[in-house]
Amino acid sequence: MLQLDESELIRIFAEVLEVSPETLSQKSAPDNVQGWDSGKAMEIVITLEEALNLEFTAGELDEMISIGATQEILKRRGVFIPR
């Protein structure tokens, strides 16, 4: 299983959302990032699952309400490396 750090996680979100990584933070979420809709949310999930070779549970998907929340899920899964 691969691992990633905060900058890599934000890079993935930025790439999928088609925004600059500098515009994103732990608090970035669908309600404060233009274009982050349900389709982009699923694209983020698929990109992370493929990059990390894992599958999120339904409960984890419900928890993915921000970049910070996603980071916490990845920490629990042992695939997030804090800087």
- pLDDT of 1 > 60? The answer is no
Q: Model pTM? A: 0.93
AA identity, residue 5? D
pLDDT, position 80: 82
Domain boundaries along the sequence of the chain: 6-77
- pLDDT of 3 > 90? The answer is no
End-to-end CA distance of the chain: 19
Residue 8 and residue 28: Cα distance in Å, rounded? 15
Residue 9 and residue 28: Cα distance in Å, rounded? 12
Question: pLDDT tens across 27-63, in order?
Answer: 999 999 999 999 999 999 999 999 999 999 999 999 9
Residue 24 and residue 70: Cα distance in Å, rounded? 13
| CATH architecture of residue range(s) 6-77 | Orthogonal Bundle (1.10)
